[in-house]
């Protein structure tokens, strides 16, 4: 059905717009950002602060090596924590409201 590709293209374009406005993947990582998260993780016995900072820096460096389109897809999926259906639902609702 031609509806799904059309809807996915709308989702993709919306994600591009949002990411260009935020550009959070280019901001340097500070230790202050992860202190609260680290406290939560340590209380559950997971990753410590230094390890988490190192992982985030690796991810940020890897994102800068991707093309803009690839980076947008990764950040949309993992950064915004959107599943495909959730993203489609949000985009469809926003688009349908715009045409009212």
Q: What pLDDT, on a 0 to 100 scale, did the predictor assign at position 3?
A: 81
What is the domain partition of the chain in residue ranges? 3-98
% pLDDT > 90, the chain: 0
Q: Collapse the DSSP code of 23 into the 3-class scheme (helix H, G, I; strand E, B; otherwise coil) and give the result.
A: coil
Q: What pLDDT, on a 0 to 100 scale, did the predictor assign at position 71?
A: 74
Average pLDDT over residues 1-23: 76
DSSP-derived letter for residue 81 is -
Q: What is the pTM of this model?
A: 0.38
Q: How many Cβ atoms from other residues are within 10 Å of residue 74's Cβ? A: 15
What confidence tier does 82 reach under pLDDT thresholds 50, 70, 90? low
pLDDT tens-digit profile of 17-59?
Answer: 776 776 665 655 555 555 555 555 555 555 567 777 788 788 8
- Which residues 6+ apart lie within 8 Å of 26 measured at CB? 64
- Looking at every residue in the chain, the average pLDDT score rounds to 66
Show the CA angle centred on residue 63, arms to residues 59 and 64, nearest 5°: 120
């Amino acid at each position: 059905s031609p509806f799904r590709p059309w809807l996915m293209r709308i989702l993709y374009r919306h994600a591009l717009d949002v990411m260009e406005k935020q550009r959070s993947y280019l901001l340097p990582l500070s230790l202050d950002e992860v202190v609260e998260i680290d406290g939560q993780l340590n209380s559950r016995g997971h990753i410590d602060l230094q390890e988490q900072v190192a992982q985030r820096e690796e991810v940020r460096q890897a994102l800068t090596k991707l093309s803009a389109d690839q980076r947008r897809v990764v950040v949309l999926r993992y950064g915004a924590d959107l599943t495909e259906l959730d993203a489609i639902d949000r985009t469809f609702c926003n688009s349908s409201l715009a045409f009212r």
